[in-house]
Amino acid sequence: MSTLAGVTRGGGSWTPEFIENIDWTKCLGCGRCFKICGRDVLRLTPLNEDGEVIEDEEEEEEDRRIMMVVNPENCVGCKACARQCAKKCITNAPLTV
C-alpha cells in the first residue's frame, strides 16, 4: 500500500493527514477546531449527564458539549483543527491507497 502525497506550490512534498478521531474524554467543547475548519467536517454536539448524544435539545437537558466528526469526506488533510486544539484530542493520519 502507498500513501497519498502531493506537491506544494514551492515544489516540496506534502502528505495530507486526514481527521480520524476526536478523544471525547479530553475534548472541552470549546469549538476552536470547528471555527477554523471551513469544510463542515466537525459539529459541536450536546451530551446529557450520562455522556449520551442528545438528539432533541428541547426534550433533554444538556450537561456538556463535545466535538464530533460528521463529514469526514470533506476533510482536506490540512490539520488546522489539530493545531487549534489546546487539549490535543484530535487524531489525524495519512490516507493509504
Gap between the Cα atoms of 66 and 44, Å rounded: 6
Gap between the Cα atoms of 79 and 88, Å rounded: 12
The CATH number of the domain where 39 resides is what?
3.30.70.20
**Average pLDDT over all residues of the chain:** 93
From first CA to last CA, the distance across the chain in angstroms is 6
What's the confidence (pLDDT) of residue 42?
A: 98
Gap between the Cα atoms of 52 and 66, Å rounded: 11
Whether pLDDT at 55 is above 90: no
- In the chain, the number of structural domains is 1
pLDDT greater at residue 1 or residue 83:
83
Residue 96 forms part of a structural domain: no
Residue 20 forms part of a structural domain: no
Calculate mean pLDDT across residues 19-43. Answer: 96
> In the block, which residue shows the cell 442528545?
54
Residue 67 forms part of a structural domain: yes
What's the confidence (pLDDT) of residue 58?
A: 74
Whether pLDDT at 84 is above 90: yes
**Domain span including residue 68:** 27-91
Whether pLDDT at 56 is above 80: no
